[in-house]
Amino acid sequence: MPLGRRNFLIGVGKGADRAAPVLSRLLGKRLNRGIFIVRDRVIRRRLPRIDFLVAGHPLPDERSVDAARRCIRLLADAGAEDLVIVFLMGGASSLLVAPAPGLTLADKRKATALLLKSGMAIADMNAVRKHLSAVKGGGLLRAAQPARVATLAISDVLGNDPAVIGSAPSFHDPTTFQDALRLLRKHKILGRMPKAARRRLDAGVRQRIPETVKPGTALSRKSRFALLADNRTALRAAKEKAEALGFKTTILDSSIEGDARKRARELAAKVKKLARKKSRARLCLLLGGETTVKVKGKGLGGRNQEFALASALDLVGSGGIYLLSAASDGSDGPTDAAGAFVDATTVTKARGLGLNPLAALRRNDSYHFFRRLGDLFRPGPTGTNVLDFVIAIVE
């Protein structure tokens, strides 16, 4: 897609500001104005014609709403000969928020919190989010008209579907109000959703309010999409590094999903089977994807820490196996850890400290469990997000 007479740039994601200098250099003086919205941290970047904003994650806040307003005001100036470039990466759904008419920020926060604890896959979660928003599901695409829109993305979703990444603010959306209601019923949280959200979904099903931007419409044809990187990209780089360190390395899967505990048990069984085979090679097994956790307890943790804890229970007595499950963005759930390390001694060490791993798992309290052990992985924000990784070493 060629550049426009004027060019506008919007970047949204936990580490989107790190892409800003690259995009700024590429556009040069052809850039008219830009806004980048990132997660809550100190922003020290200064670039001509680009504003940097900070907003809330994983729950949206007033800054998220203000950021969306500023983006919409920016796009109001775009004309038919102009181009709007939207850069998306992980965290965009919470950082860019405009409650749909009839909903408040408090409604969106409550709905988001319920979705995050429901065990829903991200595609399903975003199907609901899009139908409670004025900016998702093509909302930015509408605001940019009559300009052309190009979306560049670092994918944090399985399958790299542009209709899912960041809840598709600048792309079309094939899901419907009916889909959103069905998903909420399936996960048994419809009755706990805010009343305003339930009223909106019901009005949408009755066709009293407009749907999100749909595929094949004239508006959707004004949008183009390009994928810059994904989980598989990072796994290939990890494989090269592991091989350089002398490991015989295999990428087992780049699309693990579903319940974290179940996937952890499956992986532990597979790794133990490999460990029983006599081999002089040191093995490195790599997986990527995004599991889910249905939160029932009142503890603290994230899907990677839960995966690690469930793995530890199945690795008891299996010496020579070491495992790390971690979020690529450096943040697993509402914690300061990306994940945790485990091996055959994890459960024994924990019990020696008076910790009960099964009880911690029931409470969804993996964070405090691993903090006591000193086995949390805390790299800090990485500036990217391409789902999660599991690295298993077999000596």
Q: For the domain made up of 7-229, give the CATH fold.
A: Rossmann fold (3.40.50)
Asked if the peptide bond before residue 60 counts as cis, ω within 30 degrees of 0, the response is no
Q: For the domain made up of 231-394, give the CATH fold.
A: glycerate kinase, domain 1 (3.40.1480)
Q: What pLDDT is stored for residue 7 in this prediction?
A: 97
What residue segments make up the domains of the chain, in order of their start? 7-229, 231-394
pLDDT tens for each residue of 340-359: 999 999 999 999 999 999 99
Asked if the peptide bond before residue 210 counts as cis, ω within 30 degrees of 0, the response is no
Domains 7-229 and 231-394 share a fold: no
Q: What pLDDT is stored for residue 23 in this prediction?
A: 95
Q: Where do the H-state alpha helices sit in the chain?
A: 20-27, 62-75, 92-95, 105-116, 122-130, 139-144, 177-186, 195-205, 231-244, 260-276, 303-314, 346-352, 357-362, 366-373
Q: State mean pLDDT over 356-373.
A: 97
Mean pLDDT across the chain: 95
pLDDT tens for each residue of 93-122: 999 999 999 999 999 999 999 999 998 999
Confidence of residue 42 (pLDDT cuts 50, 70, 90): low
